[in-house]
Amino acid sequence: MDAIGATTPVGIRDRAVLLLLATTGIRNGELRAIRLRDIDWRTGEVFVRRTKGKRDRVVPLLEETGAALADYILRARPRVDSPYLFLSFTPPVGPFKCAAPVSRIVRKRLRHGGVELGRVAGAHLLRHSLATQLVGQRRPINEVADLLGHRSINTTALYVKVAASQLAEVALPFPGGVA
């Protein structure tokens, strides 16, 4: 994040985009659907709509991310009549209409920060990284599933590629004796 120059409107926006993706685990489409009214500054939460599972959810807004969003809204967001939080600076100014611009922002900023990227890298990489980090911190898998909006813990376990050694540590003994 430190590699992103937050001195230009584009830099300020891109930093807010990356922080929101990296700290909440929201998907590209969910980010593009966020409206200004979806941020609850008092409770430190973001209402996420239009999810893949067709269920709205609320994600926590960390202080650093909230500060970056406020900076973007107050100093960098184009002054146009749009309810959407993130806007393109390329005319016609408005919300991102597809996933490609957000993925380009992520790839560009990660490369600029010295991160080696594979063939597929975009907003999903940050979602996967957050989930993996939370599992590595031994956060309860149901907590990770809730944050990501997964209905099934099995989806989360596959998604974050939980290490077999970590699963062995929390496994219950086999009923009736040795497994």
Q: Which residues are catalytically annotated?
A: 27, 52, 124, 127, 150, 159
Query: What is the DSSP track for 133-156?
Result: HHHHTT--HHHHHHHHT-S-HHHH
Do the beta carbons of residue 46 and residue 40 sit within 8 Å? yes
Judge if the upstream peptide bond of residue 92 is cis by omega within 30 degrees of 0: yes
59 contacts 134 by C-beta, under 8 angstroms: no
Phi then psi for residue 6, to 5 deg, are -95, 45
3-state SS, residue 80: coil
Place of tokens 């929390």: 170
Please report, for residues 26, 30, 48, 148, 156, the alpha-carbon distance to residue 53 in angstroms, rounded to integers and kept in the order given. Answer: 12, 11, 12, 10, 13
DSSP conformation class of 173: P
Q: Which residues contact 70 (CB under 8 A, 6 or more apart)?
A: 41
